[in-house]
């Protein structure tokens, strides 16, 4: 009998899905940083083509970023579907069979509609036939862990919602939908990385080893609070990016030459008239300045909180404990993130630097979430840990 933590291919596949998700977040950051969110104005098609048959010759300018983002999102969606089915084992075969049958039926019905292009019909029919075929070859094992199987389905639900939000952002042309789209991407990334961790041999070793020291409940709660604080900071960053107003505050460490800039009508007129950027940004508003300053204050708070987490873990477990070492790496990552934030301002919001800022922020969020999960599982949640490590039961013996 094999266990999730002992199945190297399941873990590798989960890890591949996590890496693909991080790449997708990076491409999404490039789309926003380059203002290419509406470069392809229709969805789910791309200029009338099925997105998988869209001519490469048309991948130019902003279309390259937006269309690449759609394709990368499709890849992540496919990987998440496969991961969720894998985690659910034998019962997933009937889902594949029914899903394939439904998609095939939709494709055949679409073939009767003259307004539906042939490439869309062929895509639907091909996908349906593939699902039906794979369902008869699906491995016959029971889910190794009901908890992991459920989280796999949650991940699948999230990736579907994420795709719909991305599509609505295009069809409804609402910038605020991009904020939810970006924030949900971070949450989805955390979940996928959690699945990758819980299917690893390292996880099983960590949760079954005798506890070496004690992490007080208050410290575990502080780890969770700090992780949520980082998520809030990333949501603020998403709100800033999707306003398409450029840098509301172009200097650092001061803000328009002051500790807290003025936001009256005369000051706003002065700020906007002094802008020399040739990019087509919207006018700066008082709300955007307050949002930018809140983001700066949040950065100081996150920096202090992560440092406090590291110091608390070192005091409770010692400098050489694995959780302390992870927290040290977490703090180093936050230092890099802070530097990238400053660089984003000083580079006048260079697209590449701003995107790297987004990517490192996502990794910092995941680092905090996994550290919180490990601290909880190693010191307070042994029943949950043993549930995650429950074995697969192979029908083949």
Q: What does the pLDDT read at residue 172? A: 80
Q: What is the tens place of the pLDDT at every residue in 303-336?
A: 999 999 999 999 988 899 889 999 999 999 999 9
Is pTM beyond 0.85 here? yes
CA–CA distance, 127 with 77 (Å, rounded to integer): 14
Answer positive or negative: Cα dihedral of 29, 30, 35, 38.
Answer: negative
The mean pLDDT value for 176-195 works out to: 93
CA atoms within 13 A on the CB side of 202: 9
pLDDT, mean over the chain: 87
Q: Judge whether residue 209 has pLDDT over 80.
A: no
Residue (of 328, 372, 333, 366) closest to 223 by Cα position:
372
Tell me: pLDDT of 339 over 70. yes
Q: 177 falls in which pLDDT band (50, 70, 90)?
A: confident
Q: What angle is formed at CA 29 by the lines to CA 28 and CA 31, rounded to 5 degrees? A: 65
Strand partners, 141: 394
Say yes or no to pLDDT of 393 above 60.
no
C-alpha to C-alpha distance for 359 and 28, rounded to whole angstroms: 10
52-66, 89-103, 165-179, 308-322, range with the lowest pLDDT: 165-179
Query: What is the Cα–Cα distance from 144 to 297, expressed in whole angstroms?
Result: 45
Number of H helices and E strands in the chain, helices first, is 13, 0
């Amino acid at each position: 009998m094999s266990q999730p933590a002992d199945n190297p291919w399941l873990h590798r596949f989960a890890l591949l899905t996590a890496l693909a998700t991080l790449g997708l977040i990076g491409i999404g950051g490039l789309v926003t940083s380059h203002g290419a969110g509406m470069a392809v104005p229709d969805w789910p098609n791309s200029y009338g083509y099925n997105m998988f048959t869209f001519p490469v010759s048309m991948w130019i300018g902003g279309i390259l970023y937006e269309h690449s983002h759609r394709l990368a999102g499709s890849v992540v969606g496919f990987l998440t579907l496969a991961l969720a089915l894998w985690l659910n084992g034998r019962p997933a075969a009937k889902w594949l069979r029914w899903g394939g049958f439904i998609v095939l039926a939709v494709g055949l019905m679409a073939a009767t509609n003259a307004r539906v292009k042939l490439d869309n019909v062929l895509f639907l029919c091909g996908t349906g036939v593939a699902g039906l075929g794979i369902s008869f070859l699906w491995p016959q094992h029971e889910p190794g862990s009901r908890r992991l199987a459920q989280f796999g389905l949650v991940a699948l639900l999230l990736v579907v919602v994420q795709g719909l939000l991305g599509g609505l952002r295009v069809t409804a042309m609402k910038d605020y939908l991009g904020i939810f789209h970006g924030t949900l991407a971070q949450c989805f990334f955390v979940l996928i990385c959690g699945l990758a961790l819980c299917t690893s041999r390292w996880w099983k070793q960590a949760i079954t080893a005798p506890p070496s020291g004690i992490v007080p409940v208050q410290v575990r709660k502080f780890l969770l609070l700090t992780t949520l604080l980082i998520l809030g900071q990333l949501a603020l960053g998403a709100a800033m990016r999707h306003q398409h107003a450029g840098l509301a505050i172009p200097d650092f460490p001061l803000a328009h030459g002051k500790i807290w800039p003025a936001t009256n009508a005369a000051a706003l007129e002065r700020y906007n008239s002094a802008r020399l950027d040739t990019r087509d940004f919207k006018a700066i508003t008082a709300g955007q300045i307050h949002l930018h300053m809140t983001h700066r204050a949040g950065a100081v708070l996150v920096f202090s909180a992560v440092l406090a987490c590291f110091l608390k873990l070192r005091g409770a477990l010692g400098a050489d404990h694995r959780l302390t070492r992870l927290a040290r790496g977490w703090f180093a990552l936050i230092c890099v993130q802070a530097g990238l934030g400053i660089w984003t301002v000083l580079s006048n919001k260079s697209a590449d630097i701003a995107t790297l800022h987004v990517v490192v922020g996502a990794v910092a969020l995941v680092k905090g979430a996994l550290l919180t999960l490990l601290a909880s599982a190693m010191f307070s949640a042994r029943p949950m840990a043993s549930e995650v490590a429950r074995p697969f039961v192979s029908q083949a013996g």
